[in-house]
């Protein structure tokens, strides 16, 4: 542990296609004056060598539990005692699963378990892997169990060339977060990503829609959850056309809240497709299937496929107002001026 501004940061690297970006994260941290040591999984070494990290950090890399020198010094324990913060960048689905389940069968998971310093995870994986119930459950479990901070993943181009949520967050953002976590320690680790869920929304799948993922927050800072198309086959949305897209879910939003149905920026930008009545409101007493009214303002038809993310749902508080009829309203400077903040337009 250190007391100065330059902190001891342990960088865990695991076997994602984004492993090479950990080298830039390391450089960003050393440029900020931190001491960095690297611990990497066998999987990570399929993508980038220990030599790279040894050269960039100027320190030995822990790449195996069972090498002679490591055994002599119990490297994972020694590193855990040294570290002010541990950041796993990129974190695979596999390593997140091990962290959540208490499996310590190689050097990264052993080190994780031995560390009681603030921790940060920057996941990177295929969008379907990230959306899988097991990975989501493991992330939620980890947040309940540990003082830790998640950065990303974000929407971006994945190894499969597809764009989806699962890409590593931008390097600068990760460096900034690790820096803050190491500087502020516990205070920061308890904040935003551990935002408590304050409202319980019941969700029921429509029969025959068991194959569709349930909406969920895809990143620690997300306000909206994506809704999936529950169309039977492909449904074309021609330019200028409006169609109701089923989502295969029914929700029970508690009184005092609404579910707002909003357009997805990706669909709007790429295809000119929006939610026509945005933001649509699902009232607290609505129990029918949630539907999305899509409108195509783009020049090309959009093929809506089953499981396509068509809109997002934001849970928001609402107020019920009492309308009181009066003879005169209170006076203001603007008086009966028209639209616009000047009252002139």
Which runs of E-coded beta strand occur in 263-308? 273-275, 280-282, 291-296, 302-304
* Alpha carbons 165 and 78: distance in angstroms, whole number: 36
CA nearest neighbour of 310 among 224, 240, 252? 224
- Cβ of residue 95: shortest distance to ligand FMN, in angstroms? 4
- Cβ of residue 25: shortest distance to ligand FMN, in angstroms? 15
Instruction: Select 36 or 40, whichever has its Cβ closest to ligand FMN.
Output: 40
Chosen residue from 8, 14, 138, 247 binding ligand FMN by CB under 6 A: 14
* Alpha carbons 190 and 211: distance in angstroms, whole number: 35
CA nearest neighbour of 65 among 21, 110, 22? 110
Q: Taking the CB of residue 20, how many other CB atoms lie within 10 A of it?
A: 14
- Cβ of residue 271: shortest distance to ligand FMN, in angstroms? 27
* Alpha carbons 276 and 54: distance in angstroms, whole number: 54
CA nearest neighbour of 59 among 19, 9, 94? 9
Is 174 an interacting residue with respect to ligand FMN (CB under 6 A)? Answer: no
Is 189 an interacting residue with respect to ligand FMN (CB under 6 A)? Answer: no
CA nearest neighbour of 274 among 233, 302, 235? 302
* Alpha carbons 167 and 185: distance in angstroms, whole number: 26
Q: Closest residue (Cβ) to ligand FMN?
A: 43
Is 272 an interacting residue with respect to ligand FMN (CB under 6 A)? Answer: no
Q: Taking the CB of residue 206, how many other CB atoms lie within 10 A of it?
A: 15
- Cβ of residue 213: shortest distance to ligand FMN, in angstroms? 17
Chosen residue from 41, 52, 111, 189 binding ligand FMN by CB under 6 A: 41
- Cβ of residue 344: shortest distance to ligand FMN, in angstroms? 56
Chosen residue from 94, 180, 247, 296 binding ligand FMN by CB under 6 A: 94
- Cβ of residue 87: shortest distance to ligand FMN, in angstroms? 15
Is 93 an interacting residue with respect to ligand FMN (CB under 6 A)? Answer: yes
Instruction: Select 12 or 224, whichever has its Cβ closest to ligand FMN.
Output: 12
Is 110 an interacting residue with respect to ligand FMN (CB under 6 A)? Answer: no
The tally of CA atoms less than 13 A away on the side-chain side of residue 299 is: 0
Instruction: Select 164 or 280, whichever has its Cβ closest to ligand FMN.
Output: 164
Instruction: Select 41 or 189, whichever has its Cβ closest to ligand FMN.
Output: 41
**Residue 39 DSSP symbol:** E
Phi, psi of 184 (to 5 degrees): -100, -10
Instruction: Select 43 or 170, whichever has its Cβ closest to ligand FMN.
Output: 43
The contact mask relative to ligand FMN for 152-171 (x = CB under 6 A, - = no) is: -------x------------
DSSP run (H or E) holding 33: none
Instruction: Select 161 or 319, whichever has its Cβ closest to ligand FMN.
Output: 161
Q: Which residues bind ligand FMN (CB under 6 A)?
A: 14-18, 41, 43-44, 92-95, 124-125, 129, 159
């Amino acid at each position: 542990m250190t007391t100065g501004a330059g902190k001891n940061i342990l960088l865990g690297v695991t076997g994602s296609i984004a492993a090479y970006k950990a080298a830039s994260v390391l450089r960003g941290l050393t440029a900020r004056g931190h001491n960095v040591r690297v611990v990497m999984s066998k999987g990570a070494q399929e993508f980038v060598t220990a030599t790279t990290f040894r050269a960039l950090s100027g320190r030995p890399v822990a790449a195996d539990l069972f090498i002679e020198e490591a055994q002599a010094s119990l490297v994972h324990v020694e590193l855990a005692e040294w570290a002010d913060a541990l950041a796993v960048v990129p974190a695979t689905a596999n390593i997140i699963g091990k962290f959540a389940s208490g499996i310590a069968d190689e050097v990264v998971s052993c080190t994780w378990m031995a560390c009681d310093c603030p921790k940060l995870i920057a996941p990177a994986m295929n969008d379907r892997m990230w959306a899988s119930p097991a990975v989501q459950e493991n992330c939620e479990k980890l947040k309940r169990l540990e003082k830790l901070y998640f950065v990303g993943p974000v929407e971006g181009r994945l190894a499969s060339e597809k764009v989806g949520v699962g890409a590593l967050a931008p390097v600068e953002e990760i460096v900034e977060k690790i820096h803050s976590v190491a500087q502020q320690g516990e205070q920061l680790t308890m904040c935003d990503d551990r935002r408590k869920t304050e409202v319980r929304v019941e969700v029921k799948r429509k029969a025959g829609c068991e194959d569709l993922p349930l909406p969920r927050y895809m990143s620690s800072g997300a306000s909206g959850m994506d809704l999936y198309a529950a169309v039977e086959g492909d449904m074309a949305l021609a330019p200028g056309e409006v169609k109701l897209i089923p989502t295969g879910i029914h929700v029970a939003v508690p009184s005092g809240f609404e579910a707002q149905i909003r357009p997805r920026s990706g669909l709007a930008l790429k295809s000119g497709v929006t939610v026509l009545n945005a933001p649509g409101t699902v009232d607290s007493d609505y129990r029918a299937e949630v539907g999305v009214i899509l409108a195509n303002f783009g020049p090309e038809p959009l093929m809506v496929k089953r499981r396509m993310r068509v809109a997002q749902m934001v849970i928001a508080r609402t107020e019920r107002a009492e309308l009181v009829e009066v003879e005169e309203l209170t006076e203001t400077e603007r008086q009966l001026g028209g639209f616009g903040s000047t009252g002139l337009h």
